[in-house]
Amino acid sequence: MENKIADTVHQKEVWGPKAWTHLSTVRQRSPLIQCITNFVSMDLMANTLLSAGASPAMIHSLQEIPDFTPHADAVCVNVGTLTADWLPAMKSAAELANQSGKPWVLDPVAAGASGFRLKACLELVGLKPTVIRGNGSEIIALSNASVGATKGVDSSHESTSAVEAAKSLSKASGCIVAVSGAVDVITDGERVIGAQNGVALLQKITATGCSVTALIAAFVAIDPLHAFEATVSALSIFGIAGEIGMNMAKGPASLRMHLIDSLYGLDQVTVLRHVNIITLP
């Protein structure tokens, strides 16, 4: 028990300052994040980025990609309301981000829900995203590269049950893989970290998962050489904002509002106090 407590204290001392440094740097630099995302998530995703100090650009037209994407600090690709018309823009932005040496993050929403969606996601994975962030079912579907049973965009698997799938996907793709859940799991194929911040009611607000993916893009944009650590920080910071917001919320609608306000108002003392990150076996 004493060793476990000591390890928890150590993790706070290590990860707390990292998370605060990442958030502070985003606020200072205001990285430009291009979001090719679904119609459901655009509002909350943009407001999440703004409240964290980043600058969102909801640019998804294929005709604009060549001019705009090279100037973005990172790209976030979310396939939530995927159509055949949008896929070329997603691929083009990913390719240009790679050519420009900029990170890009993939959110494979409901990856196993249809053959078309899974094929599209696998093609995007082949374009080497810096980070893939999904729920347990999405990561398992991608890892197995087969159509799995999913429940719409919701997960039928806990994040911790997807750890091995996440590690396999990370090794196969060369990407950092983050699995959202009660414990957010982040792996580079070898290291496995769990971010334990957040509240269950966030699951009742559409686009919170999409929004944390955008926040990951912002954090990775300002620290691309330490994308693993930046991903851990982003998930923890978003979870802390949810916890603070929950103290004032009456339900999902007010939590959405207080989530944005809390992310905007996070200070160093609050971050250092609330960070709850552990090393997983």
As a whole number, mean pLDDT of residues 132-152 equals 76
Share in percent of the chain as helix, strand, coil (round to 5): 55, 15, 30
Q: Which of 227, 182, 238, 237 is nearest to 44 (CA)?
A: 238
DSSP string, 199-222: -GGGGGSTTHHHHHHHHHHHHHHH
Domain CATH for 193: 3.40.1190.20
Contact 69, 75 (CB under 8 A): yes
As a whole number, mean pLDDT of residues 155-163 equals 61
Q: How far is the CA of 55 from the CAs of 34, 59, 205, 214, 280, in angstroms?
A: 9, 12, 22, 11, 33
140-146: which pairs have CB atoms within 8 A and are 24 or more residues apart? 140/112, 140/165, 141/108, 141/111, 141/112, 142/108, 142/111, 142/112, 142/118, 142/169, 143/168, 143/169, 143/172, 145/118, 146/112, 146/118
Position 148 scores a pLDDT of 41
Whether 2 has a pLDDT exceeding 50, the answer reads no
Q: Is 133 helix (H, G, I), strand (E, B) or coil?
A: strand
Position 10 scores a pLDDT of 59
pLDDT, the chain, mean: 92
pLDDT-based confidence at 53, cuts 50/70/90? very high
As a whole number, mean pLDDT of residues 272-279 equals 96
Q: How many domains does the chain have?
A: 1
Contact 181, 136 (CB under 8 A): yes
As a whole number, mean pLDDT of residues 121-149 equals 87
Position 13 scores a pLDDT of 83
Both tokens of 180, joined, read: 């959202």
Whether 9 has a pLDDT exceeding 80, the answer reads no
Contact 208, 225 (CB under 8 A): no
pLDDT-based confidence at 7, cuts 50/70/90? low
Give the model confidence (pLDDT) of 16-38 as tens digits: 999 999 999 999 999 999 999 99
Phi, psi of 59, deg, nearest 5: -105, 115
Give the model confidence (pLDDT) of 178-237 as tens digits: 999 989 999 999 999 999 999 999 999 999 999 999 999 999 999 999 999 999 999 999
- Where are the alpha helices (H) located in 30-86, listed in sequence order? 42-52, 65-68
Position 139 scores a pLDDT of 95
Position 12 scores a pLDDT of 73
> Residue 218 sits in which domain range?
2-279
Q: Which of 238, 227, 236, 264 is nearest to 74 (CA)?
A: 227
Q: How far apart are CA 99 and CA 152, in angstroms?
A: 34
Residues β-bridged to residue 173:
none
